[in-house]
């Protein structure tokens, strides 16, 4: 829990939203940083330290049992803490405490496959964001604060600035983004790509270093730029162009390769692009806005 954390700063905002809807929230967190005082929220840190596995497990269990001793726990929601949720899972089953876990990765996880039946439910952003296909999976969207992402009154056209914001991890396939834009530049030389983000841990730092070393040529050609991760609060200020994703014009089309998706968005007419951005904005508000996300979360948890 830290407003200045570059990856998890939004947890503070989420807890604040939840606390406005229920009597009391106890947050068991790996670290406490800059956090506003919320009267009905209790924070408890287990001081998670990267690489100190045995001590981390012991500290987490001690903190969990301390919370249980002093709190009548009605339900547990493990948000973006899958490994930690597995540590306390046997005890939530023994004590018959409802336990829901957040998992939003397409990649298959052996531990998830072995444990998902023991959870009361798996919450995720969309059905495609979880590799497990079961009625216990609940898609509730993302946590977008619409006040921080107002609709742009104008867009740059033709499109030339592409931006990716996210963790610099192998699962993001940064090398595919770079190679796709490199190929497209043969016919669209105005394209540039900014990649904003850092490796999420020591184990992924070698991947980031290797990709940046391989891409030195493109950096020197001045169409590829790397930036370190930023605090979430600053992301709206960095977005000169919407991040590209699935831009195929029909949902009936087969899944497109990234290069084909880029071609699709580049070839939109200005009017069609404006309409498509408006459509996507309304969809984001409907499916992923923070207030709606909170309501869907509490409904799933039956609070």
**How do beta strands 75-78 and 41-45 pair?**
unpaired
For residue 284, give both structure tokens.
Answer: 């984001």
DSSP character at residue 289: B
Residue 1, CA distances (Å) to 26, 31, 110, 229 in order: 12, 6, 28, 18
Per-residue model confidence (pLDDT) at position 249: 41
Q: Which residues contact 71 (CB under 8 A, 6 or more apart)?
A: 26, 42
* pLDDT tens digits, one per residue of 25-73: 999 999 999 888 999 999 999 999 888 899 999 999 999 999 999 999 9
Rounded to 5 degrees, what angle do the CA atoms 183, 188, 193 make? 70
Place of tokens 């939840």: 18
Long-range pairs for 63-70: beta carbons < 8 A, 24 or more residues apart: 63/28, 64/28, 64/88, 64/91, 65/91, 67/26, 67/28, 68/95
Per-residue model confidence (pLDDT) at position 282: 87
Q: Locate all alpha helices (DSSP H) within the chain, ordered by sequence.
A: 10-19, 53-70, 82-94, 110-115, 174-184, 202-214, 216-220, 235-238, 258-266, 270-288, 290-301
What is the rounded CA–CA span in Å between residue 208 and residue 198? 8
Per-residue model confidence (pLDDT) at position 248: 41
For the chain, how big is the Rg over CA atoms in Å? 21
Per-position pLDDT tens, the chain of length 303: 888 776 777 888 899 999 999 999 999 999 999 888 999 999 999 999 888 899 999 999 999 999 999 999 999 999 989 999 999 999 999 999 999 999 988 777 899 999 999 999 999 998 888 999 899 999 999 888 887 777 766 667 778 888 888 889 888 889 999 999 999 999 999 999 999 888 887 878 999 999 999 999 999 999 999 988 776 666 655 554 444 444 444 444 444 567 777 777 788 888 888 888 888 888 888 888 889 999 999 999 986
* One-character DSSP codes across 149-179: SPPPS---SS--EEEEES--SGGG-HHHHHH
**How do beta strands 224-227 and 25-29 pair?**
unpaired
For residue 83, give both structure tokens.
Answer: 């490994």
Per-residue model confidence (pLDDT) at position 205: 93
Q: Which residues contact 189 (CB under 8 A, 6 or more apart)?
A: none
Q: Are 171 and 158 in contact (CB under 8 A)?
A: no
Q: What's the full length of the chain, in residues?
A: 303
Task: Please tell me whether residue 127 adopts helix, strand or coil conformation.
Answer: helix
pTM for this entry: 0.77
Q: Which CATH architecture has domain 10-143+289-301?
A: 3-Layer(aba) Sandwich (3.40)
Per-residue model confidence (pLDDT) at position 246: 42
Place of tokens 């409904």: 299
């Amino acid at each position: 829990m830290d407003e200045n954390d570059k990856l998890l700063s939004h947890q503070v905002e989420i807890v604040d939203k939840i606390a406005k809807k229920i009597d009391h929230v106890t947050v068991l967190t790996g670290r406490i940083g800059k956090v506003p005082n919320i009267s009905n929220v209790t924070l408890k840190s287990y001081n998670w330290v990267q690489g100190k596995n045995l001590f981390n497990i012991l500290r987490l269990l001690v903190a969990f049992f301390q919370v249980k001793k002093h709190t009548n726990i009605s339900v547990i929601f493990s948000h973006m803490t899958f490994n930690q949720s597995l540590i306390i899972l046997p005890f939530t089953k023994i004590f018959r405490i409802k336990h829901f876990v957040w998992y939003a990765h397409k990649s298959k996880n052996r531990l998830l496959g072995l444990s998902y039946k023991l959870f009361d439910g798996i919450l995720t952003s969309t059905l495609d964001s979880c590799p497990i296909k079961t009625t216990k999976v609940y898609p509730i969207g993302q946590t977008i604060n619409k006040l921080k992402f107002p609709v742009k009154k104008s867009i740059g056209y033709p499109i030339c600035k592409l931006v990716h914001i996210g963790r610099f991890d192998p699962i993001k396939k940064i090398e595919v983004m770079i190679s796709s834009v490199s190929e497209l530049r043969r016919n669209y030389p105005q394209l540039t790509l900014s990649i904003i983000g850092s490796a999420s841990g020591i184990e992924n730092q070698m991947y980031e270093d290797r990709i940046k070393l391989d891409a030195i040529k493109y950096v020197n050609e001045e169409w590829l730029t790397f930036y370190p991760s930023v605090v979430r609060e600053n992301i709206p200020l960095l977005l000169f162009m919407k991040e590209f994703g699935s831009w195929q014009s029909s949902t009936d089309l087969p899944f497109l390769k990234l290069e084909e998706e880029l071609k699709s968005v580049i070839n939109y007419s200005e009017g069609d692009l404006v309409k498509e951005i408006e459509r996507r904005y309304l969809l984001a508000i409907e499916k992923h806005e923070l207030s709606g996300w909170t309501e869907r979360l509490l409904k799933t948890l039956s609070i």
